[in-house]
Homo-oligomer: A and B are copies of this chain.
């Protein structure tokens, strides 16, 4: 079970990871997602509780699935 605090950190880390994989700046990501650069910085630092619509905007801008942004890199998944 992921805590409410940890999910913001996980999301922010994943945004940074995929942004760096694309080799683009926070400013460029903000431009592609139609958001502000300072907002992207706050998201990467887990300083803001992002909404689902903005999560989707960022996922689209990063060309990933929104699930990829909330997945722990190792084995975060429960068996079911």
Contact = CB atoms under 8 A, between A and B. Distances in A.
Nearest to A55: B52
* Protomer copies: 2
**Residue of A2, A7, A11, A76 ringed by the most chain B CB atoms within 10 A:** A7
21 contacts: A2-B56, A2-B66, A3-B56, A4-B53, A4-B56, A4-B57, A7-B52, A7-B56, A7-B66, A8-B52, A11-B52, A49-B51, A49-B52, A49-B53, A51-B52, A52-B52, A52-B55, A65-B76, A66-B70, A67-B70, A67-B77
Interface of A: 1-4, 7-8, 11, 49-53, 55-57, 59-60, 65-67, 70-71, 76-78
